[in-house]
Amino acid sequence: MKNKPLPDAPLLEAADREEALRFVKNLQNAFAREEPENREAFLKKYVERFPLGQLQSIGRRIMMDVLKARQSVPEAEPAPGDSAAPPRRRRASRGATGRPGSVRER
């Protein structure tokens, strides 16, 4: 029996940032209001209120924003001259530099 290829899912446009942010904030507010004992059941119940296409577009926007986010926080980076460790010095390379007498003879 051969594996059947999956049909291509239609590409959905990502939701705009405001819509994704509104979804997350509303979820956080609902969670804070109810303080559910069973978090997983609460999330499932909350998410079931939205159509699948809307959830996919919001999820797509969130993933795009996460992947585009800066990798480091500017405040956490040390200033160029304020590093705790002294800069490493590079070793002089051995070999001819083009000047006479620059190569050591043994």
34-88 pLDDT, tens digit per residue, is: 888 899 999 999 999 999 999 999 999 999 988 887 766 556 555 555 555 656 6
The CA distance from 67 to 28, in Å, is 22
Band (pLDDT 50/70/90 cuts) for residue 98 is low
Is the predicted pLDDT of residue 89 greater than 90, yes or no?
A: no
Assigned domain for 55 exists: yes
The CA distance from 63 to 55, in Å, is 12
What pLDDT does 78 receive?
56
∠ CA 31-34-35, nearest 5°, is 70
Assigned domain for 105 exists: no
Assigned domain for 26 exists: yes
What pLDDT does 69 receive?
78
Assigned domain for 3 exists: no
Residues with Cβ within 8 Å of residue 30, at least 6 apart in sequence: 46
Number of domains composing the chain: 1
Assigned domain for 92 exists: no
What pLDDT does 13 receive?
84
Band (pLDDT 50/70/90 cuts) for residue 94 is low
Q: Report if pTM > 0.75.
A: no
